[in-house]
Structure 1
Amino acid sequence: MLRKLLLGVAAAAIGLTMIDVGAASAKDKITLLTWNLPVYGDKIKGWIEDFHKKHPDIDVEWIDKKGTDWATFYQTQLAAGTPPDVIDVQGALWAQYAADGDMLDLTPYLKKDPDFANRFTPGALDLWQSDGKTWMVPWYFTRTLLYLNKRMMRAAGIAKAPTTFDELMADAKKMSGEGKSGFLTTNFDWLYWPLFKMNGVDILDKDMSKAAFNTPAAQKTLTALADATKSGAINNISWTGRWVEPNTAFASGNVGMYMSLSSALFWAASKAGWIDDKNVEVVNAPGGWWVPSQHGWGVSKASKHPDAAVDLIKIATSDKWQTTMASTFSILTLNKDVDKKLIANIKSEDPLKSKVLDLDQPDMSTITGYLKSAKEGRVKEAFWGAIQPALLGQTDPKAALDSAEALVNRALSRP
């Protein structure tokens, strides 16, 4: 059904494209596709003005799509043979397009232009590299950290941040009680995975060909999480909410620890005056494990103007425009000079935010929950569908892991 729908939309898109090209035949054009950022339109117009200084003969069409619509739109454009030239892609979705041969390898451009290559935080490009090629470059970035409610910690007699999974669970229990829970996390895009990695559990084997998580350590971890959820030590919104729900729960002041993205903390802080450097401590999760959430820029391989497309990306990731991005959204850009200035500039006015952003910088040695695989989406859906009921006490943890293993291996075996 979905395939028929996509093909139908693609056919319509071909017709629209033909009309568009006919109307704009006097001038070449590239298309820029962004992911749910309509509020940034004035800044993007600034990029385009800078682009026209170098390419006065090429127009830029900007299209923005909601996250729920982005992949479908891009897929239909690929099917029509008219994909946007420059694409803003979230997470590991790029791996699917790279594996399908739909993306341009940016390695030659990075080698040719040292200023372009060297502007990025050391190790950052690894997020978008596979098979010796670089498929994307950074636009903006956040990752999971652990946020501690110091008022609840003091009330529970807890003097320091947990350094192991067992300490985390023990502290969560101490801080729970009527109307209060000790720990909260978010469950989409593997953001909860540090809880498993703390105990040495990996999602897949090294060549990402089969499940690696069905181990005694995983069963022990899942059982502990389910028991803590049942007792109230872990807020069950961790496993049922999405974004607003867990952020709102932490903003209430009744959660002891929150493991999520820096953007989640900033969202909660905008709703709760108590969240500041006096009442919240920010640390890495035990073991230093973290899961990224990032957006990067890539170029569709079918672009008729790949050099111009890369020039637009160079403008978007320049010090000038990334300074605007960083200050507008208080987020890292993985442009090393821009991020360094951002953290320093806000230190006096917002010490908590400055510390969060400082810790947010990626240490690639402790990344987890990030699969550079074309089948990442399938694996994520198969695993979560089997594990969520166990976390909520609805199924046996061992049975859930067995089911998840079978489903994930089946997903990996499909072409």
Structure 2
Amino acid sequence: MRSIRAAAIGAVTMSLALAASACGGGSSGDGGGSNDSPKTLTYWASNQGASVEVDKKVLQPELDKFEKETGIKVELEVVPWSDLLNRILTATTSGQGPDVLNIGNTWSASLQATGGLLPWNAENLDKIGGKDRFVDSALGSTGAEGQDPAAVPLYSMSYALYYNKKMFADAGIAKPPTTWDELVAAGKKLSKDGKWGIGVEGSNPAENIHHAVVFAKQQGAEFFTPDGKPDFTSDGVVAGVKQFVDLMAKDKIIAPGNAEYAQNQSVSDFATGKTGMLLWQSASANLTSQGMNADDYGIVPVPVQSGTPGADAQVNSMVMGINLAVFKNTDNVDGATEFVKFMTSDAEQKILNEAYSTIPPVKGAQADPVFNTPANEVLKNTLANSAIAAPQVADESQFETAVGTAIKDLFADAAEGSAITEESVKAALEKAQQQMPTK
């Protein structure tokens, strides 16, 4: 899932339920069809570009193409990430939702557990060309192990470290960092004259989780035990979260104002030269849309504690991406399946992933030369060799809320000058663990 999303996950309110009901699905009187002759589909697309309007410009020509080929009209709504998960949860609760929707791949197991999404069993996968068309890392984030996927991969992403070449040269930094110690050292050289070393979205719970899972893994720790129980206060988890927040609290290479960032502001700061480094998912299209020339920045793997990225404690990203799901209550199941087939075709995968600077999760499209640039090679290699899937547990969305908000609060404390200690981090994580559902 892309990190411009501030997944504001909480209670499903009545107002959200009404909003979702108003959007309706294939069963609504003004937009539905039948399984035999679907004429209209509703599609909730996630905000992938720099704005909702950018997404509409990318997607609408492809939807028009689908309508011309099939006679099926697709009614598009691009949903901001701050609303998307609550909208989906409301839809699964009320039974009123779109026909087809995007989901952040980290939500797959949670949404699968609601029973609201169409399972992609072997029969359904065969209708879109079969399971073997998709790369393994993308399929690993489509639901709980041992169950039919809750969705199919649409866009694949991984984190990378983006760095401003001119700012590095001006600061006398000879090469981009490969370890966190090197990143902190570079960040301190960059943090002067009103500029800062690196930016984060400290008020974005989902973004916080993506980094925290990696930091903890690099400390040899997991947020969940092998049987799926939360384990948020182990030494490794505490150390990983503290190291992340310490980039602001101790190392002073993140501006205190980043504690309030939640919606793409750190990308804007990097694009405008306010920060020298950025940790982001597949950011090139976003940076280009904000006026940054591709020659002005470099892209390297996210640092590790020591050595080079790889397996186990050398992981440096979560397997990020967007999955495409079908709402189980649709009465346009055939049309919805045809739309998924279209969106995951080699031709459309090339068009869409090139537009968003993401990596196709479809093997045939990934082989296209356009995805063999140095920048894309960094992302592909990370996904193949040094990224891990989000915890595939039914309570993953609650995990994002609880721990992501705890880290948000720690960043707020750091911004105010409060000391961030092992004890304060452990207390925040203990509080988060107490918020998790009991079995």
- TM-score tier after normalising by the smaller chain length: 0.7 to 0.9
Match of residue 177, structure 1, among 192, 198, 202: 192
Give the one of 24, 31, 41 matched to 2:41.
Answer: 31
Distance in 1, Cα, partners of 2:240 & 2:104:
32
Match of 2:230 in 1: 210
Three-state SS of the structure 2 residue aligned to 1:406 is: helix
Match of 2:301 in 1: 284
Alignment-derived partner of residue 368 in structure 2: 341
2:84 matches 1:66: no
Q: CA deviation at 1:225?
A: 4.1
1:302 equivalent among 329, 348, 366: 329
* Aligned match for 1:259, one of 279, 284, 290: 279
Deviation at residue 99 of structure 1 after TM alignment: 0.5
User: How many angstroms apart in 2 are the aligned matches of 1:227 and 1:328?
Assistant: 32
**Do the aligned residues in 2 keep the contact of 1:135 with 1:298 (CA within 8 Å)?**
yes
Please name the residue that 1:46 is paired with: 65
- Displacement of 1:296: 1.3
Q: CA deviation at 1:105?
A: 2.0
Q: 1:369 & 1:117 partners in 2: Cα distance?
A: 18
* Contact map agreement 1:326 1:339 (CA 8 A) in 2: no
How far off is 1:23 after superposition? 9.8
Query: Aligned ranges for residues 129-140 of structure 1 at < 5 Å?
Result: 129-132=143-146, 133-140=148-155
User: What is the alpha-carbon distance in structure 2 between the residues aligned to residue 272 and residue 60 of structure 1?
Assistant: 34
User: Where in structure 1 do 4 or more consecutive aligned residues deviate above 6 Å?
Assistant: 9-16, 21-26
**Identity of aligned pairs, percent?**
21
Superimposed CA distance per residue, residues 270-319 of structure 1 (whole angstroms, 9 cap, x where no aligned partner):
4345x434x42211112331134421112233344544432321111112
Hey, what's the Cα distance between the residues in 1 that align with 2:220 and 2:156? 25
| Letter aligned with residue 297 of structure 2 | V
> Distance between the aligned counterparts of 2:25 and 2:298, measured in 1?
56
- Residue 125 of structure 1 deviates from its aligned partner by 1.1
Q: Residues 122 and 217 of structure 1: is their aligned pair in 2 closer, same or farther, counting only changes over 3 Å?
A: closer
Q: 1:73 to 1:61 in 2, by over 3 A?
A: farther
One-letter amino acid of the counterpart of residue 118, structure 2: L
CA distance in 1, matches of 2:285, 2:32: 46
Would you say the 8 A contact 1:198–1:286 is kept in 2? no
Query: Residue 329 of structure 1 corresponds to which residue in structure 2?
Result: 356
Higher mean alpha-carbon deviation, 193-202 vs 280-289, is at 193-202
Shift of 1:32: 3.4
2:52 corresponds in structure 1 to none
- Counterpart in 1 of 2:5? none
- 1:168 aligned residue: 183
Kindly indicate whether residue 431 of structure 2 is the aligned counterpart of residue 413 of structure 1. Answer: no
Cα distance, 1:325 vs structure 2? 1.4
Shift of 1:60: 4.7
Are the counterparts in 2 of residues 130 and 372 from structure 1 also a CA contact under 8 Å? yes
Instruction: For residue 279 of structure 2, give the secondary structure of its aligned residue in structure 1.
Output: strand
- 1:373 maps to what in 2? 393
Residue 410 of structure 2 corresponds to 390
The answer to whether the Cα contact below 8 Å between 1:33 and 1:64 also exists between their aligned partners in 2 is: yes
Q: Aligned letter for 1:164? A: T
Q: CA deviation at 1:228?
A: 4.7
Query: How far does the alpha carbon of each residue in 1:322-354 deviate from its partner, in whole angstroms, 9 at most, with x for none?
Result: 22213433332222232332536xx7xxxxxx3
Contact 1:322 1:338 in 2 (8 A): yes
State which structure, 1 or 2, has the greater radius of gyration over its C-alpha atoms.
1
Does residue 119 of structure 2 align to residue 142 of structure 1?
A: no
Q: Answer whether contact 2:162 2:297 (CA < 8 A) is retained.
A: yes
Amino acid aligned to 2:44: T
Taking a change above 3 Å as real, the CA distance of residues 162 and 205 of structure 1, as seen in their structure-2 partners, is: farther
Change beyond 3 A, Cα 1:152–1:369: farther
RMSD (Å) for aligned C-alpha atoms:
3.6
Q: Following the alignment from structure 1 to structure 2, what is the Cα–Cα distance between the partners of residues 149 and 225? A: 22
Alignment correspondent of 2:254: 234
Deviation string for 1:371-413 (max 9, x for gaps)?
Answer: 3233223222222333334332435433432333223322323
Does residue 404 (structure 1) correspond to residue 436 (structure 2)? The answer is: no
Aligned residue for 2:102, secondary structure, equals: strand
**Structure 1 residue 102: Cα displacement:** 1.6
* Corresponding residue for residue 383 of structure 2: 363
| Local SS of the residue matching 1:134 | coil
The 8 Å contact of residues 128 and 341 in structure 2, kept in 1 or not, is answered as no
- The alpha-carbon distance between structure 1 residues 11 and 191, as it changes in their structure 2 partners (threshold 3 A), is closer
Residues 258, 339 of structure 1: alpha-carbon distance in 2 compared, 3 angstrom cutoff: same
Conserved 8 A contact 2:106-2:390: yes
Is the contact made by 2:25 and 2:32 (CA closer than 8 Å) also made in structure 1? no
Tell me the matched-pair count. Answer: 398
Q: Secondary structure at the match of 2:117?
A: coil
Partners of 1:12 and 1:407 in 2: CA distance: 37
Which residue type is aligned with residue 413 of structure 1? P
Question: What is residue 56 of structure 1 aligned with on the other side?
Answer: none
Contact 2:188 2:253 in 1 (8 A): yes
